[in-house]
Amino acid sequence: MSGGIEVVRHARARCMRLAVDPRDGRIRLTLPPRASLKKGLAWAEAQSGWIAAQQARLPEMRPLAPGAYFPLAGREIEIVSAPSAPRTPKLESDRLICGGPREGLERRVERWLRAEALRVLSAETAEYAARAGVIVTRVSVGDPRGRWGSCASSGAIRYSWRLILAPDFVRRATVAHEVAHRIHMNHSPVFHRLVAELYEADPGPAREWLRRNGSSLHWVGRQGLPA
Helix/strand/coil (H/E/C) assignment for every residue in the chain: CECCEEEEECCCCCCCEEEECCCCCCEEEEECCCCCHHHHHHHHHCCHHHHHHHHHCCCCCECCCCCCEEEECCEEEEEEECCCCCCCCEEECCEEEECCCCCCHHHHHHHHHHHHHHHHHHHHHHHHHHHHCCCCCEEEEECCCCCCEEECCCCEEEEEHHHHHCCHHHHHHHHHHHHHCCCCCCCCHHHHHHHHHHHCCCCHHHHHHHHHHHHHHCCECCCCCCC
Question: What pLDDT score does 226 carry?
Answer: 67
**What would the pLDDT profile of 41-96 be if each residue is shown by its tens digit?**
999 999 999 999 998 888 899 999 999 999 999 899 999 999 999 999 999 999 99
Q: Worst-scoring range by mean pLDDT, 44-53, 114-123, 168-177?
A: 44-53
Output the average pLDDT for the chain. 94
6 has pLDDT over 80: yes
Question: What pLDDT score does 1 carry?
Answer: 46
The model's confidence at residue 227, banded by pLDDT at 50, 70 and 90, is: low
pTM: 0.86
**What would the pLDDT profile of 128-163 be if each residue is shown by its tens digit?**
999 999 999 999 999 998 899 999 999 999 999 999
Question: What pLDDT score does 21 carry?
Answer: 87
